[in-house]
Amino acid sequence: MNKLNIIANNISTNDFRLDDFNPDAILKKIAQQVKRNRLELNLSQNALAIRSGVTLGSLKRFERTAEISLKSLVMLAVILDATEEFGLLFSGKKYQSIDELLIREKKHIAKRGRRNV
């Protein structure tokens, strides 16, 4: 392992290491957390599937490959009491000072995105 990888593996922010900032790693971490929460509640895969309304096959695939639909993930989160985390997704920038907030308030906020031609 080279020096850069060692440094990247040791730097943590918000429980995600620098090497986790790619879609596959994030999905894998979420799947691991769901499985951990399921086991902490002493639920079998079948019991969680029945309670959540997610098919057993989807749950098994999710825990194995980290692939799941957003709707199914939300259904699992409801049963695992983890819906609050969805409120944090795309919640906007956190401001470090009142000046940053005032600058943002002065800027025009677009109602829609520009087309990329």
What is the model's pLDDT at position 106?
Answer: 66
Question: pLDDT digit string (tens) for 28-51?
Answer: 999 999 999 999 999 999 999 999
**Cα 99 to the center of its chain, rounded Å:** 30
Q: Does residue 40 belong to any structural domain of this protein? A: yes
Where in the sequence is the domain holding 46, given as residue range(s)? 3-106
pTM of the model: 0.66
Q: Does residue 42 belong to any structural domain of this protein? A: yes
Residues of the chain above pLDDT 70, percent: 69
The chain-wide mean pLDDT, for the chain, equals 80
Q: Does residue 29 belong to any structural domain of this protein? A: yes
pLDDT at 105 over 70: no
pLDDT at 91 over 80: no
For 58, phi then psi, to 5°, come to -65, -40
CATH number of domain containing 24:
1.10.260.40
Number of domains in the chain: 1
> Of 104, 85, 102, which Cα lies nearest the Cα of 93?
104
Q: Does residue 115 belong to any structural domain of this protein? A: no
The three-state secondary structure class of 107 is coil
Q: Which amino acid is at 30?
A: I
Q: Does residue 116 belong to any structural domain of this protein? A: no
Q: Does residue 55 belong to any structural domain of this protein? A: yes
Q: Does residue 72 belong to any structural domain of this protein? A: yes
> Of 56, 20, 14, 16, which Cα lies nearest the Cα of 38?
56
The three-state secondary structure class of 12 is strand
